[in-house]
């Protein structure tokens, strides 16, 4: 799922200096919340509030458009000609038009993991009316409004007054498309923004589909499923021991000119009886960061890293993950890479590493000011991810039995204190407070304490929508009781309550839309920005998102397999590979896909093809594609060339295309090739066209398919190799009899990601210099071009096809990045 907030201010696109900050856009938009009126899930009058109020504070005021947070379909919308009045009067005695009733309701169905599809809704309420936009829109809209939604302008259907609520029909929107501008309610400028799920959709994602999310579980277990995304979490039990240096690893270092210890000496200690440690780890721009909380037995979590996460003592931990995996897990560095990456092996149920060889020593904070090493690969340590919504990250369901809201939807002060676990410094006795005092105390408690609002972000509330008119009597009926607001004013204003309900109903719409709530009309509501921030950690491309990037217009009309078939075949392997190799962040993913589009011809060429033509003086001038080279080696059952009749001169010749352009030199005696068939045997395969025996050997070693002792390192440095004298070589090349495994579906993307992270380790460091959006001005375009060329050079040692690589990367960034 690719998801973003409803505002995209320019400040959020600035790469923060602090590497531990992973989402600068959300850091900026978080500040737009109106904490004095529209906090989720409690309004300023103590009533249940199913969304939050946001006002962009970026110097643009109402010129900052409201945008769709994800690709979706329009469920319903309303475009009002004018604002309405809540009864307030202007100085001339007429009603003030101070409340907007326009809205857009979207439904989003997208993928969050393998076999994991989520459906949720987003609501954008109190959008500006047409009359108020008349002076605004001409400055921002083209003369002819687009018929469909767009990131650059409002569509025509949102610029035409509607008679009440309109069904969405077949209308679709894409992430970042404009939906309107911020309006008002009760004369307060804000966007009311919601995210919710229906009963059935909530159950399907959180409790079914092979992965029961540990939401609400106070004693979570390591999930049996392979669904993982976001950050890694460890639950470490009492009496667990931490060491200064893992046993037998005191001298282990990275090698090279300036050796650094993999395990610099830290602290040792033991968790006390009844203590439980909760640790969060994640990677960001080359480093590994950690947060930790300890429960000393009373159920209260105390932060051991209160201000900001701490960085691993080993610099560039993420950039050097492969070196660490290779030295610690020589039998199968790929399995070891996953242990260091995820805390468990996700790619297989039958790892190549033995259970004993899977020990994973990580540095984690375990007490105030103390960090030590612990083997997290032991049965007593539980491993989770953000896919599990761990309770110690404040996620909790609020429903019958633990809700702070009464039947009238009013939040109780003492009940809220109990659920949040945050004490009020004033600690008033709730039992002695009058109603107005309760309201003021609750407002002070929520608005005055950031710790309370942080807890509220984790509330997932089962409740009725405030836009459901059938709930009005239960929600507002108390106002007409003798002690209620309108009850006390009945003699002065006998129709006050009726007018109030009529005003409220002008904004309500749930009875007129196709949203299937439960039998009691309840839905599941999330803190909108917390939901978005959480799922932005995923990076799992959905089928629709992938189709937008690798769109049908890149494929010949009659190509087989078709573009749709190719995307369907490779989407899951792509997601698994980018997740494993930490390539799922927006910039990294955009470059990976843009470069891969050239290397793999938009997935059409997972094995290098050859040409038929004329051979002259060691050069082959191609005239047409050799159809034999296009046959899938999976179908052949062997590598193309293994059978003598399949010998193909293209690979061992200097190559020219049908237009006379030079393609490449001979592959003979290059990249470790040294036997008669090597040029063809180790032709380019996979998403990044892995080429040459030496590159294949690196990948085979990584996967544990060959052992290092079976060949001589750097056999291409043999003097006889340099003379092209195979019989005279004393060094033994790696023996690989099944090179076509690279082209297998499960390996082709993995090998490409491996090549980027391992064979060309500078690639990701170059990408990490890039901006967080597609270039939109000359300065940004120059920078984007320079970085794309640097990435191209880091991959290929040259600037082959650099213009197309930049074009495709830029296009991917427009869809993936904010």
CA angle, 134 as apex, 129 and 135 as ends, to 5°? 125
Q: Is there a single domain that holds both residue 253 and residue 132? A: no
Section 173-202 average pLDDT: 95
Section 24-42 average pLDDT: 92
Backbone angles phi, psi at 233, to 5 degrees: -130, 140
Give the pLDDT score at 27.
95
Section 313-333 average pLDDT: 94
User: Does 43 fall in a domain?
Assistant: yes
Q: Using the predicted structure, report yes or no on whether residue 30 has a pLDDT greater than 90.
A: yes
Give the pLDDT score at 52.
96
Section 368-372 average pLDDT: 95
Q: Using the predicted structure, report yes or no on whether residue 339 has a pLDDT greater than 50.
A: yes
Q: Is there a single domain that holds both residue 707 and residue 791? A: yes
Interacting residues of 500 by C-beta distance below 8 A, sequence separation 6+: 87, 476, 479, 486
Helix (H) or strand (E) holding 784: helix 778-796
CB 435 within 8 A of CB 428: no
Question: Of the ranges 111-125, 196-210, 275-289, which one carries the lowest mean pLDDT score?
Answer: 196-210
Considering 511, 539, 567, which residue would you say is the last residue of a domain?
539
Q: What percent of the chain has pLDDT over 70?
A: 96
Name the band, by pLDDT with cuts 50, 70 and 90, for residue 249.
confident
Name the band, by pLDDT with cuts 50, 70 and 90, for residue 60.
very low
Q: Is there a single domain that holds both residue 691 and residue 766? A: yes
Give the pLDDT score at 424.
67
User: Does 557 fall in a domain?
Assistant: no
Q: Is there a single domain that holds both residue 10 and residue 141? A: yes
Considering 338, 366, 393, which residue would you say is the last residue of a domain?
393
Give the pLDDT score at 520.
83
Q: Is there a single domain that holds both residue 192 and residue 260? A: no
Q: Give the whole-angstrom CA distance, residue 64 versus residue 731.
A: 66
Q: Give the chain's length.
A: 818
Helix (H) or strand (E) holding 621: strand 619-625
Domain that holds residue 53: 1-198+526-539
User: Does 666 fall in a domain?
Assistant: no
Name the band, by pLDDT with cuts 50, 70 and 90, for residue 431.
very low
Q: Give the whole-angstrom CA distance, residue 173 versus residue 151.
A: 10
Over residues 732-743, the pLDDT tens digits come to: 999 999 999 999
Q: Using the predicted structure, report yes or no on whether residue 261 has a pLDDT greater than 90.
A: no
Which of 412-416, 492-496, 591-595 shows the highest mean pLDDT?
Answer: 591-595
Q: Using the predicted structure, report yes or no on whether residue 545 has a pLDDT greater than 90.
A: yes
Q: Is there a single domain that holds both residue 192 and residue 287? A: no
Section 344-355 average pLDDT: 93
Give the pLDDT score at 697.
97
Give the pLDDT score at 426.
54
Give the pLDDT score at 648.
95
Q: Using the predicted structure, report yes or no on whether residue 50 has a pLDDT greater than 60.
A: yes
Give the pLDDT score at 435.
53
User: Does 655 fall in a domain?
Assistant: no
Name the band, by pLDDT with cuts 50, 70 and 90, for residue 133.
confident
User: Does 581 fall in a domain?
Assistant: no
Q: What percent of the chain has pLDDT over 90?
A: 74
User: Does 441 fall in a domain?
Assistant: no
Considering 375, 393, 411, which residue would you say is the last residue of a domain?
393
Q: Is there a single domain that holds both residue 22 and residue 159? A: yes
Q: How many domains does the chain have?
A: 3
Over residues 675-695, the pLDDT tens digits come to: 999 999 999 999 999 999 999
Give the pLDDT score at 137.
66
Over residues 397-409, the pLDDT tens digits come to: 999 888 999 888 8
Over residues 98-129, the pLDDT tens digits come to: 999 999 999 999 999 998 999 999 999 999 99
Chain-wide mean pLDDT for the chain? Answer: 91
Q: Give the whole-angstrom CA distance, residue 678 versus residue 738.
A: 12
Name the band, by pLDDT with cuts 50, 70 and 90, for residue 631.
very high
Helix axes 802-816, 586-599, angle to 10 degrees: 140
Q: Is there a single domain that holds both residue 185 and residue 289? A: no
Q: Is there a single domain that holds both residue 174 and residue 253? A: no
Beta strands in 296-355 (DSSP E): 301-303, 310-311
User: Does 807 fall in a domain?
Assistant: yes
User: Does 577 fall in a domain?
Assistant: no
Q: Is there a single domain that holds both residue 131 and residue 255? A: no
Q: Is there a single domain that holds both residue 149 and residue 262? A: no
Q: Is there a single domain that holds both residue 802 and residue 737? A: yes
Give CA separation, 206 vs 200, 226, 482, 733, in Å: 10, 15, 44, 51
Taking the CA of residue 487 as centre, how many other CA atoms within 13 Å lie in the half-sphere pointing to its CB? 9
């Amino acid at each position: 799922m690719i998801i973003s907030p409803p505002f995209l201010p320019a400040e959020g696109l600035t790469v923060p200096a602090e590497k531990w900050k992973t989402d600068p856009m959300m850091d900026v938009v978080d500040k737009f919340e109106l904490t004095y009126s529209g906090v989720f899930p409690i309004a300023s009058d103590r009533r249940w509030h199913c969304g939050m109020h946001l006002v962009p504070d970026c110097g643009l005021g109402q010129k900052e458009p409201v945008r769709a947070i994800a690709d979706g379909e329009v469920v319903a919308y309303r475009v009002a000609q004018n604002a309405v009045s809540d009864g307030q009067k202007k100085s001339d005695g007429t009603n003030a038009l101070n409340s907007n009733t326009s809205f857009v309701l979207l439904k989003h169905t997208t993928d969050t993991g393998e076999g994991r599809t989520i459906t949720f809704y987003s609501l954008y309420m109190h959008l500006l009316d047409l009359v108020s936009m008349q002076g605004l829109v001409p400055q921002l809209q083209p003369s002819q409004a687009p018929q469909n939604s767009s990131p650059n302008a409002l569509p025509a259907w949102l610029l035409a007054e509607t008679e009440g609520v309109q069904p969405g029909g077949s209308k679709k929107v894409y992430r970042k498309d404009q939906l309107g501008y911020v309006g008002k309610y009760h004369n307060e400028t804000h966007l009311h923004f919601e995210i919710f799920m229906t009963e059935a959709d909530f159950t399907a994602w959180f409790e079914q589909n092979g992965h029961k999310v540990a939401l609400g579980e106070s004693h979570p277990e390591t999930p049996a499923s392979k669904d993982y995304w976001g950050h890694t979490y460890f639950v470490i039990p009492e009496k667990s021991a931490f060491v200064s240096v893992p046993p037998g690893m005191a001298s282990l270092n990275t090698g090279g000119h300036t050796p650094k210890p993999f395990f610099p000496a830290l602290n040792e200690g033991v968790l006390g009886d009844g203590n439980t440690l909760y640790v969060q780890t994640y990677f960001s721009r080359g480093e590994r960061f950690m947060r930790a909380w300890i429960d000393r037995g009373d159920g209260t979590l105390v932060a051991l890293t209160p201000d900001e996460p701490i960085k691993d003592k080993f610099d560039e931990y993420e950039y050097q993950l492969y070196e660490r995996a290779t030295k610690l897990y020589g039998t199968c560095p790929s399995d070891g890479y996953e242990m260091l990456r995820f805390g468990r092996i996700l790619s297989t149920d039958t790892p190549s590493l033995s259970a004993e060889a899977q020990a994973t020593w990580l540095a984690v904070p375990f007490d105030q000011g103390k960090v030590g090493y612990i083997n997290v690969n032991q049965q007593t340590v539980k491993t989770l991810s953000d896919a599990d919504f761990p309770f110690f990250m404040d996620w909790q369901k609020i429903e019958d039995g633990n809700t702070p809201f009464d039947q009238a939807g009013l939040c109780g002060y003492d009940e809220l204190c109990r659920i949040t676990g945050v004490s009020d410094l004033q600690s008033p006795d709730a039992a002695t407070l009058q109603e107005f005092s309760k309201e003021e105390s609750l407002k002070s408690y929520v608005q005055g304490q950031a710790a309370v609002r942080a807890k509220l972000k984790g509330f997932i509330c089962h409740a009725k929508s405030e836009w459901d008119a059938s709930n009005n009597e239960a929600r507002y009926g108390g106002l007409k009781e003798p002690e209620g607001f309108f009850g006390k004013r009945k003699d002065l204003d006998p129709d006050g309550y009726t007018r109030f309900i009529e005003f409220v109903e002008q904004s309500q719409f749930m009875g007129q839309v196709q949203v299937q709530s439960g039998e009691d009309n309840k839905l599941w509501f999330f803190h909108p920005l917390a939901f978005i921030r959480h799922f932005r950690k995923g990076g799992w491309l959905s089928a629709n998102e992938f189709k937008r990037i690798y769109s049908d217009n890149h494929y010949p009309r009659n190509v087989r397999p078709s573009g749709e078939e190719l995307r369907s075949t490779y989407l899951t392997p792509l997601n698994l590979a980018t997740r494993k190799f930490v390539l799922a962040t927006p910039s990294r993913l955009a470059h990976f896909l843009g470069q891969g589009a050239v290397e793999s011809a938009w997935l059409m060429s997972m094995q290098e093809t050859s040409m038929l033509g004329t051979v002259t003086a060691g050069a082959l001038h191609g005239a047409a594609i050799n159809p034999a080279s296009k046959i899938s080696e999976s179908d052949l059952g062997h590598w193309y060339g293994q059978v003598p009749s399949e010998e193909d001169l293209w690979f061992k010749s200097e190559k020219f295309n049908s237009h006379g352009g030079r393609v490449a030199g001979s592959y003979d005696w290059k990249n470790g090739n040294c036997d008669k068939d090597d040029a063809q045997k180790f032709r380019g395969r996979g998403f990044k066209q892995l080429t040459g025996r030496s590159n294949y050997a690196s990948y085979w070693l990584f996967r544990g398919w060959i052992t290092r002792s079976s060949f001589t390192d750097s056999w291409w440095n043999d003097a006889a190799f340099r003379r092209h004298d195979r019989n005279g070589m004393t060094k033994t090349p790696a023996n690989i009899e099944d090179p076509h495994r690279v082209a297998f579906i499960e390996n082709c993307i993995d090998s490409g990601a491996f090549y980027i992270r391992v064979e060309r380790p500078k690639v990701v460091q170059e990408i990490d210099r890039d901006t967080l959006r597609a270039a939109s001005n000359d300065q940004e375009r120059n920078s984007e071009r320079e970085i794309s060329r640097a990435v191209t050079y880091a991959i290929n040692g040259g600037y082959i096809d650099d213009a197309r690589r930049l074009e495709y990367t830029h296009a991917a960034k427009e869809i993936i990045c904010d």
